[in-house]
Amino acid sequence: MAVYLELQNVCARFPLIGGAAAKVHGGKQPRRRERRVSSLKDISLLLRDGARIGVIGPNGAGKTTLLRVMGGLLPYHSGRILRNGHAHALLSPHAGFVAQATGLENIYLRGLLLGLSREQIKSHLDEMIDFAGIGDWIYEPLSTYSAGMALRLAFAVCMTIPPEILLVDEWISAGDARFLRKARDRLTEVIQQTRILVLASHTESILREFCDEAIVLLDGAVVFHGAVQEALAFYGDIVTINEAADNEAAIRLTAAAPAPSLKVSE
């Protein structure tokens, strides 16, 4: 089976409820005005078997939204997504978890969210529990876990069975040093077995290690697609230009400000 992931002119818009209530005619009750914000704008990508692509951009550019849409976790407004292969989205340590459920119950909940069957989860259950390394806490409610424990459990579920399409956000950088080494080794092993990798990250060394191509996202749109080193250089130029513009704006603002008055004490 040829594994691929294709986006054709995909746009995603999400409602933004205005803080101020708008009065309607006729003396009726106030209602909120709804606006829609474009998070992804006309994105087209074709990722074939063996693709290792990074997603680069500033905070708020749409990186996580893109990965969620690719994985089928968020709806899109228009366009088309063709996905041939099973996808795992390693995006948030709490996605698919229920605070009142035990760690063991949450393994099944998250596994089912990832598209695993109950038989697959059951056959790998001991391996998941062992990798999480949280001992008897596995029988306690998730609400009693620390952030690090929840992260361990989430990673254990996502990384035990390698998917054909792996979507990774940078939240894996959280956690203690020992677990990070363990997680990095497992992630490297899974990436070698997965057919397509999409990795959103701010860390250049990680992008260079795992990706051979990358896209640059700005305000929900792809503004560059090419070799990972060229994409990093392109984004670096954007950051430099923006910093220079911010500095110029600060200088203009300072120059326009009235001079402080000096009060001489008698």
Span 101-127, mean pLDDT?
Answer: 92
Please give the structure tokens belonging to residue 123. 């056959």
* Residue 15 pLDDT: 73
Query: What per-residue confidence (pLDDT) applies to 57?
Result: 94
Q: Total structural domains in the chain?
A: 2
Question: Are 80 and 212 contained in the same domain?
Answer: yes
Cα separation, 59 vs 75, whole angstroms? 21
Q: Are the C-beta atoms of residues 33 and 22 closer than 8 Å to each other? A: yes
CA-to-CA dists, residue 125 to 112, 141, 259, angstroms: 13, 18, 69
My answer on whether 126 and 180 are in the same domain is yes
Q: Who has greater pLDDT, 123 or 86?
A: 123
Rounded to whole angstroms, how far apart are CA atoms 21 and 33? Answer: 7
* Whether residues 7 and 96 fall in one domain: no
Per 3-state DSSP, what percentage of the chain is helix, strand, and coil (rounded to 5)?
A: 40, 30, 30
Q: Would you state the pLDDT for residue 41?
A: 95
Residues 189, 135 share a domain: yes
The answer to whether residues 93 and 42 belong to one domain is no
Is residue 81 over pLDDT 80? yes
Residue 21 has pLDDT above 60, yes or no: no
3-state secondary structure of 1: coil
Q: Are residues 219 and 187 in the same domain?
A: no
| 42 and 52 assigned to the same domain | yes
Residue 253 lies in a domain: no
pLDDT band at 34 (very low <50, low <70, confident <90, very high): low
Which three-class secondary structure string do you get for 55-84? EECCCCCCHHHHHHHHCCCCCCCEEEEEEE
Mean pLDDT estimate for the chain: 84
Residue 164 lies in a domain: yes
What range does the domain containing 233 cover? Answer: 1-15+38-85+197-238
pLDDT band at 30 (very low <50, low <70, confident <90, very high): low
pLDDT at 257 over 70: no
Taking the model in full, what pTM does it have? 0.80
- Statement to judge: residues 116 and 187 lie in one domain: yes
Q: Identify whether residues 152 and 232 lie together within a single domain.
A: no
In this structure, is residue 250 part of a structural domain?
no
Report the CATH number that the domain containing residue 80 is assigned in CATH: 3.40.50.300
| Residue 23 belongs to a domain | no
Least confident residue range of 132-136, 166-170, 217-221: 166-170
Within this chain, do residues 186 and 228 fall inside the same structural domain, yes or no?
no
Instruction: Give the CB-side neighbour count of residue 186, counting CA atoms within 13 A.
Output: 20
